Copies of this chain bind each other. A is one copy, B any other.
Amino acid sequence: MDFDNRPIGVFDSGIGGITVLRELAKAFPHESFIYLGDTARLPYGSKSGDTVRQYSVQNMKFLVSKNVKAIVVACNTASTQVLENSFEGRPVYNVIDPGAALACATTKNKKIAVLATRATISNGAYTKKINKIMPDAQVLTQACPLFVPLAEEAWYEDPVTNLIAFRYLNHLKAAEVDTVVLGCTHYPLLKNAIRKIFGNYVELVDSGEAISKELTQDFDGQLLKRAQQNKSFLTICLTDASEHFENLSNELLCSVMNTQIQFETVSVI
């Protein structure tokens, strides 16, 4: 069997994609990763589609220049603007397709809620994808603009976060959805607060878990060749230096990485 030791490239606007990287690192312990956090231009969720598209293409070019074997768009807002399955010869994985598929596989009563940024919700990508798979599914959407800054503030378990979650989500509980898509990669960091609103009878769909399942299938299907069981690395490239980001990502990744994380400040323009 041939091996391919090139890293997998992952990008997001900020810290959120680390939740996807964490799931990928758990599923593929021998792979190397290059993570690009576009911290100089975050957040993407409040920006227009054209701007998010332009930033995403610059980010993908940067990852290609780092010789990645695949690109994971670990940002839902960017995923609404990256519709191609390959970019300069590398397979591209977005987080929306596997998230929508997993939601459809999970729901029993066909009532699905999607939580995301204003940009992702107004784009309608999740509703379209879910209804393509399951035309009679009822999809309720909710933009939650304060969830990203709450996650960046690391107020994961906090009365303030609980109160804001109640404000955004209580009407969805009342509508009796049985499946909730965390349609922004920051939101798994607030899983406990979201869980408190919905209780245990509702399934939360995490994009990171969904995408790592999809990559597992592709590895098995030989679309991607796995790396050899040798020394892997993780490099986190930021477009704007941020000690706060370094501390948060070290904290989020320490339990799944057996390698030292290298941080670099880069330009993608």
Chain A residues with a Cβ under 8 A of chain B: 39-42, 46-48, 51, 118, 145-146, 148-150, 152-153, 159-160, 163-164, 167, 240-242, 244, 269
Q: Are B152 and A46 in contact (CB under 8 A)?
A: yes
Q: Within 8 Å CB of A150, what residues of B?
A: 146
Q: Which residue of B lies closest to A148 (CB)?
A: B149
Q: Within 8 Å CB of A145, what residues of B?
A: 149, 152-153
- Shortest C-beta distance, A123 to chain B (Å), equals 14
- CA–CA, A22 and B42, complex, Å: 27
Q: Are A118 and B149 in contact (CB under 8 A)?
A: no
Q: Within 8 Å CB of A48, what residues of B?
A: 240-242
- Shortest C-beta distance, A108 to chain B (Å), equals 33
On whether A47 and B240 interact (CB within 8 A), knowing A160-B160, A167-B160, the answer reads yes
Q: Which residue of B lies closest to A145 (CB)?
A: B153
Q: Are A118 and B244 in contact (CB under 8 A)?
A: yes
Q: Which residue of B lies closest to A166 (CB)?
A: B160
Q: Are B40 and A47 in contact (CB under 8 A)?
A: yes
Q: Which residue of B lies closest to A54 (CB)?
A: B40
- Shortest C-beta distance, A59 to chain B (Å), equals 15
- Shortest C-beta distance, A48 to chain B (Å), equals 5
- CA–CA, A240 and B242, complex, Å: 24
Q: Within 8 Å CB of A164, what residues of B?
A: 160
Q: Within 8 Å CB of A41, what residues of B?
A: 40-41
- Shortest C-beta distance, A267 to chain B (Å), equals 10
Q: Are A46 and B242 in contact (CB under 8 A)?
A: yes
Q: Which residue of B lies closest to A52 (CB)?
A: B240
- CA–CA, A46 and B42, complex, Å: 9
Q: Within 8 Å CB of A244, what residues of B?
A: 46, 118
- CA–CA, A184 and B47, complex, Å: 21
14 contacts between A and B (CB under 8 A): A40-B51, A41-B41, A46-B152, A46-B242, A46-B244, A47-B240, A145-B152, A146-B146, A146-B149, A146-B150, A146-B153, A149-B149, A159-B163, A160-B163
